[in-house]
Amino acid sequence: MIFGRSERGKPPVEPVTLKILVAGGFGVGKTTLVGAVSEIRPLRTEELLTEAGRPVDDTSGVEAKRTTTVAMDFGRITLREDLVLYLFGTPGQERFWFMWDELSEGALGAIVLADTRRLEDSFAGIDYFERRGIPFLVGVNCFEGADRYPADDIRQALDLDPDVPLVLCDARDRESVKEILIGVVQHAMAFQASHRQTVTT
């Protein structure tokens, strides 16, 4: 950079930064998803599960889980030179839900991760974003050994509105997660455009 301009003589690009939330139940893969795509070392606030938390942390279906997010996960990914996403993973347990209001401030959209072994854990995130008018996408994290169901059956079980996207994904796979992120950005932009049109008519 020379005098605020790039070496090729082009002015530097000031990227648009967008905030995306990653929500879902306990042990659904939120921390894994953020870590799979973040171009920086993700900020994690994980603590070991303890005996004291056993009565309130339901580990059925995720018995191998040893840690839990107690505040948030944070990561960043550059989709294009002029578009950067900041990812905020929300804590999954009910006792940490008070933080969701702070984390959702200024969010463009959200991803609700779902696990077919514990679909009921997705309802809190879906209800939260529906009530606040935040556009969201449901990503079904396909765990090894979990039963596979058609997307339409999962959509019906979650009672999703027809315009809410639902995709099958692998939270460990960078390309799979990138497709989800592109999907939620596109959905949020379409949602906002539709909302503006409704307001002006």
Say if 9 falls within a structural domain.
Answer: no
Say if 5 falls within a structural domain.
Answer: no
Say if 132 falls within a structural domain.
Answer: yes
Residue matched to tokens 């905020």: 88
What are 144's two structure tokens? 């090894």
Say if 128 falls within a structural domain.
Answer: yes
Tell me the average pLDDT across 68-97.
Answer: 78
Question: Could you give the CA distance from residue 4 to residue 58 in angstroms, rounded to a whole number?
Answer: 54
- Mean pLDDT (the chain, rounded): 82
Note down the domain range covering 148: 16-200
With 50 as the cut, is the pLDDT of residue 74 above it?
Answer: yes
Contacts of 29 (CB under 8 A, 6+ apart): 113, 115, 141, 143, 171, 172
With 90 as the cut, is the pLDDT of residue 26 above it?
Answer: no
Say if 7 falls within a structural domain.
Answer: no
Cβ pair 59, 51 in contact under 8 A:
no
What is the pLDDT, as a whole number, of residue 70?
46
Question: Could you give the CA distance from residue 57 to residue 95 in angstroms, rounded to a whole number?
Answer: 10
Say if 10 falls within a structural domain.
Answer: no
What are 13's two structure tokens? 């690009």
* Rg for the chain, CA atoms, rounded: 18
Give the three-class secondary structure for 68: strand
Say if 52 falls within a structural domain.
Answer: yes
What is the pLDDT, as a whole number, of residue 129?
95
Question: Could you give the CA distance from residue 89 to residue 200 in angstroms, rounded to a whole number?
Answer: 34
131 half-sphere exposure, CB direction, 13 A CA radius = 9
Q: Which has more confidence, 40 or 136?
A: 136
Q: What phi and psi, each to the nearest 5 degrees, are found at residue 171?
A: -65, -10
Query: Each residue of 111-140: pLDDT tens digit?
Result: 999 999 999 999 999 999 999 999 999 999
Q: What is the CATH number of the domain that holds 131?
A: 3.40.50.300
What is the pLDDT, as a whole number, of residue 92?
63
**Number of independent structural domains in the chain:** 1
DSSP letters, 171-197, are: TT-HHHHHHHHHHHHHHHHHHHHHHHH
Say if 3 falls within a structural domain.
Answer: no
Do strands 83-89 and 16-24 pair parallel, antiparallel, or not at all (unpaired)? parallel
Angle between helices 174-200 and 30-37 (to 10 degrees): 100
